C-alpha cells in the first residue's frame, strides 16, 4: 500500500453501503471489506480495464456478493444510496460533475488531483459540512477532503483556495507545499520574455504565498 492510499484509508469510517468511484486497482475497497468496515461495497470505474483490475483483486468478495462491480460514469449505475462515498485520484471538476448527479452522500472522502478550490466551493454551496480539509505529502502533495453531505459550512475565500485545516492548523507538509510553489514561481519569474500581466500575476501570487508562509511558520 502506498503512503497516499494508507492516508486515504485512514479517513474511511464504518458504513452500511460504501462506494469507491474510479476504483481502478480496488485497494481502498479491499481495506474496507477486509476490515469489515462496510456491509457491502460498490466499485465503479468508467474504463472496463480498470474495473477488471479491482474485480480480480476482490474476486472472492465479488463472488460472495459483498462487492458489486459497476462499469459506469461516477455513481450513475449504482442503484441504492451509499452512506460513504470515496472518490480519489480524479480531478476536482470531474468529482463535481459526478456529485452533481446524485444526492450528496451522508459521508464522503475526496482526494482531488487538481482544482481542489472548485470542489470546496461546490461542496459548501451544496450545503455540505467539511470535517477535515488538508494537504498531505507522499512524494507529491495531495489534498484530502472529508465531510458530511448535510450540516452546512462557512468557508473564507482563502480557505476555499488553500484548504481550511492547512490555514487553521497548519502542518509541516503544507509548509513544504508552499515552499515548492514559491520555488516554481521564482523560477518562472527569472525567465525572460514573459508578458507584463503574467509577471504581475505571478508576483501577486508569490506575495500571497509569502504572507501565508509568514503567518503559519511561527505556529509550527
Ligand atoms: C488515477 S485513477 C485513481 C484510482 C484510485 N481511485 C486511486 O485513488 O488510487 C483514476 C480512475 O478513475 C477512473 N475514472 C475517471 N473518470 C471517471 C468517472 N467519471 N467515473 C468513474 N471512473 C472514472 C479512471 O478510469 C481510473 O481508473
Phi (first) and psi of residue 99, to 5 degrees:
-70, -30
CA of 68 to the centre of ligand 1 (A): 16
Q: Is the dihedral of CA 63, 59, 80, 131 positive or negative?
A: positive
pLDDT recorded at residue 68: 98
Rounded CA separation 173/96 (Å): 26
Kindly state the DSSP code that residue 218 receives in the 8-state scheme: T
Mutation to probe ligand 1, out of 45, 48, 69, 93 (largest number of atoms < 8 A from CB): 45
Answer whether 140's CB lies under 8 Å from 2's CB. no
pLDDT recorded at residue 135: 98
Question: Whole-model pTM?
Answer: 0.97
CA of 44 to the centre of ligand 1 (A): 8
pLDDT recorded at residue 193: 87
pLDDT recorded at residue 92: 98
Rounded CA separation 30/66 (Å): 11
65: left (phi over 0), alpha (psi -120 to 50) or beta: left
Contacts of 167-173 spanning 24+ positions with Cβ under 8 A: 167/212, 167/216, 170/216, 170/219, 170/220, 171/134, 171/135, 171/136, 171/220, 172/220, 173/135, 173/136, 173/137, 173/141
- Cell for 75? 455513481
pLDDT recorded at residue 220: 80
Measured by CA distance, the residue closest to atom 15 of ligand 1 is 22
- Cell for 149? 453531505
From first to last of its 220 residues, what are the pLDDT tens digits of the chain? 799 999 999 999 999 999 999 999 999 999 999 999 999 999 999 999 999 999 999 999 999 999 999 999 999 999 999 999 999 999 999 999 999 999 999 999 999 999 999 999 999 999 999 999 999 999 999 999 999 999 999 999 999 999 999 999 999 999 999 999 999 999 999 998 889 999 999 999 999 999 999 999 888 8
Measured by CA distance, the residue closest to atom 23 of ligand 1 is 22
Pairing of strands 38-45, 67-71: parallel
Contacts of 173 (CB under 8 A, 6+ apart): 135, 136, 137, 141
Q: What residues line ligand 1, using a CB cutoff of 6 Å?
A: 21-24, 44-47, 50, 73-74, 88-90, 94, 98
pLDDT recorded at residue 107: 98
Amino acid at each position: 500500500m502506498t503512503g497516499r492510499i494508507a492516508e486515504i484509508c485512514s479517513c474511511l469510517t464504518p458504513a452500511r453501503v460504501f462506494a469507491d468511484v474510479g476504483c481502478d486497482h480496488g485497494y481502498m475497497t479491499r481495506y474496507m471489506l477486509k476490515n469489515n468496515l462496510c456491509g457491502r461495497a460498490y466499485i465503479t470505474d468508467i474504463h472496463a480495464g480498470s474495473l477488471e483490475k479491482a474485480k480480480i483483486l476482490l474476486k472472492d468478495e465479488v463472488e460472495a456478493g459483498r462487492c458489486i462491480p459497476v462499469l459506469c460514469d461516477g455513481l450513475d449505475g449504482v442503484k441504492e444510496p451509499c452512506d460513504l462515498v470515496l472518490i480519489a485520484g480524479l480531478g476536482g471538476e470531474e468529482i463535481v460533475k459526478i456529485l452533481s448527479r446524485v444526492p450528496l452522500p451522508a459521508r464522503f472522502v475526496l482526494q482531488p488531483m487538481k482544482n481542489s478550490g472548485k470542489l470546496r466551493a461546490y461542496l459548501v454551496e451544496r450545503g455540505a459540512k467539511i470535517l477535515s480539509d488538508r494537504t498531505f505529502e507522499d512524494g507529491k502533495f495531495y489534498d484530502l477532503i472529508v465531510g458530511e453531505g448535510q450540516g452546512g459550512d462557512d468557508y473564507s475565500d482563502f480557505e476555499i483556495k488553500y484548504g481550511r485545516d492547512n490555514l487553521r492548523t497548519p502542518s509541516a507538509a503544507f509548509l513544504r507545499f508552499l515552499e515548492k510553489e514559491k520555488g516554481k514561481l521564482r523560477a518562472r519569474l527569472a525567465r525572460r520574455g514573459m508578458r507584463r500581466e503574467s509577471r504581475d500575476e505571478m508576483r501577486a501570487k508569490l506575495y500571497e504565498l509569502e504572507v501565508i508562509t509568514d503567518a503559519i511558520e511561527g505556529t509550527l
